[in-house]
A = this chain, B = another copy of it.
């Protein structure tokens, strides 16, 4: 009753390695490894030039193999948003992980504490963010419980998150943060590691000036809070934050010590729509959906990639203009279909079998839709499949 195993995706994907890009079935999530490695090199150089640590966000790629590549290129480790992502990264050989988010459920904190001890035994380090006294108390309790069963004492790094304009998690800059610092320092298994000050809303402000203004205000929030903490005799070792949109501002601030930008690696259509700051490295698109035309009518064609293939929360994908197809526009065709129409001066409606490459609007949730990324080298038309990158933390929500 089982269909032939030859037809199961993972099997057929493994068989692809070494074959031409033409053999990649559609729709598929494809990573241009050459472009990705160039982006990685640009980021490493940027961080070196600014004498910054960088800890790219693995919530974007969710792949332990890519995280290891980043660490090899000089990254301090990775950020994640969820405990289950941290577990997936640790299982894949990443030993320096920061959960840049609040975890408050006791059964989740038990997992966090167990992971902290496991990673410490591997000479690594786990870190986490907090924004409430209750969160600190529960984390300390979980660390104590884990120490008893682990038999060794691990220390978890704890960042106090302040809200620098995102309006999401984090305490207000100022006294509340200082109180949390003191609460953390009461517990020997917790080490106050610094401030989490990420401004998510700044990332997609379209003009460089808007982003500079937003991060300028965030820097004032950080300075104000840091001064209060230091006035109590507590050093603030690190301020961490920044995304691909705003990273040049945090890097120039003299206040932030670590960049969390993740999307630079793949660059999506939404980030590409930002006005580029002159100081920003020129990151290339490295993530694509390969799709194929399955139906063609008088004025439009239909391809096999809809929003089960790519996330549309930050806009529809852009179509890569190729000589074979000319300029095309992608319109929403629902969960499984995309509508393609000739655009610009192009008059040719795509025909059945035409291959079309989409640049996703938002890379993070697009990656999360897939189980694997097809890593290719040598370009989208003439290249070949180099490796299959498993998306280890796909669906890792808890």
* Choice from B118, B132, B364 contacting A352 with Cβ under 8 Å: B132
Which are the 7 A-B pairs with shortest beta-carbon distances? A169-B295, A3-B87, A81-B336, A102-B294, A7-B111, A25-B398, A102-B295
> Nearest chain B CB to A196's CB is how many angstroms away?
12
**Which B residues are in CB contact (< 8 Å) with A87?**
3, 7-8
Q: In the assembly, what is the distance between CA of A122 and CA of B2, in Å?
A: 11
Contact check, B300 vs A311: say whether CB atoms are below 8 A apart.
no
Contact check, A7 vs B294: say whether CB atoms are below 8 A apart.
no
Contact check, A333 vs B168: say whether CB atoms are below 8 A apart.
yes
**Which B residues are in CB contact (< 8 Å) with A26?**
105, 398
* Interface segment out of the listed A180-188, A215-223, A321-329, A367-375: A367-375
CB under 8 Å from chain B, chain A span 292-328? 292, 294-297, 300, 302, 304-305, 307-309, 311-313
Contact check, A365 vs B308: say whether CB atoms are below 8 A apart.
yes
Q: In the assembly, what is the distance between CA of A336 and CA of B353, in Å?
A: 37
Q: In the assembly, what is the distance between CA of A170 and CA of B84, in Å?
A: 43
Q: State whether A364 and B339 are in contact (beta carbons under 8 Å apart), knowing that A7-B87, A353-B104 are contacts in the complex.
A: no
Contact check, B168 vs A337: say whether CB atoms are below 8 A apart.
yes
Q: In the assembly, what is the distance between CA of A59 and CA of B1, in Å?
A: 21
Q: State whether A167 and B339 are in contact (beta carbons under 8 Å apart), knowing that A102-B295, A365-B308, A398-B26 are contacts in the complex.
A: yes
A350 lies within 8 A of chain B by Cβ? no
Q: In the assembly, what is the distance between CA of A304 and CA of B103, in Å?
A: 9
A131 — nearest CB in chain B belongs to which residue?
B295
A92 — nearest CB in chain B belongs to which residue?
B1
Contact check, B353 vs A91: say whether CB atoms are below 8 A apart.
no
A82 lies within 8 A of chain B by Cβ? yes
Contact check, B132 vs A4: say whether CB atoms are below 8 A apart.
no
Q: State whether A59 and B397 are in contact (beta carbons under 8 Å apart), knowing that A91-B2, A104-B352 are contacts in the complex.
A: no
Q: Supply 12 further A-B pairs (C-beta < 8 A) apart from A307-B313, A313-B332, A336-B397.
A: A1-B91, A9-B84, A25-B398, A27-B397, A81-B335, A104-B295, A105-B294, A134-B352, A169-B294, A170-B295, A308-B364, A335-B365
CB under 8 Å from chain B, chain A span 7-23? 7-9
A258 lies within 8 A of chain B by Cβ? no
**Which B residues are in CB contact (< 8 Å) with A169?**
294-295, 302, 337
A–B pairs, 17, beta carbons within 8 Å: A3-B118, A4-B114, A9-B84, A25-B105, A59-B335, A101-B336, A105-B294, A105-B353, A134-B352, A135-B352, A163-B297, A304-B397, A307-B313, A307-B365, A308-B368, A312-B313, A371-B395
A235 lies within 8 A of chain B by Cβ? no
> Nearest chain B CB to A150's CB is how many angstroms away?
11
Q: In the assembly, what is the distance between CA of A131 and CA of B309, in Å?
A: 23
Contact check, B25 vs A295: say whether CB atoms are below 8 A apart.
no
**Which B residues are in CB contact (< 8 Å) with A309?**
397
A174 lies within 8 A of chain B by Cβ? no
Contact check, A364 vs B335: say whether CB atoms are below 8 A apart.
yes
**Which B residues are in CB contact (< 8 Å) with A118?**
3
Contact check, B82 vs A336: say whether CB atoms are below 8 A apart.
yes
Report A160-199 CB contacts with B as 1/0, cut-off 8 Å: 0001000111111000000000000000000000000000
A108 lies within 8 A of chain B by Cβ? yes
Contact check, B1 vs A122: say whether CB atoms are below 8 A apart.
yes
Q: In the assembly, what is the distance between CA of A167 and CA of B331, in Å?
A: 11
Q: In the assembly, what is the distance between CA of A87 and CA of B6, in Å?
A: 11
**Which B residues are in CB contact (< 8 Å) with A114?**
3-4, 7
Q: In the assembly, what is the distance between CA of A27 and CA of B103, in Å?
A: 12
> Nearest chain B CB to A85's CB is how many angstroms away?
9
A200 lies within 8 A of chain B by Cβ? yes
Contact check, B132 vs A295: say whether CB atoms are below 8 A apart.
yes
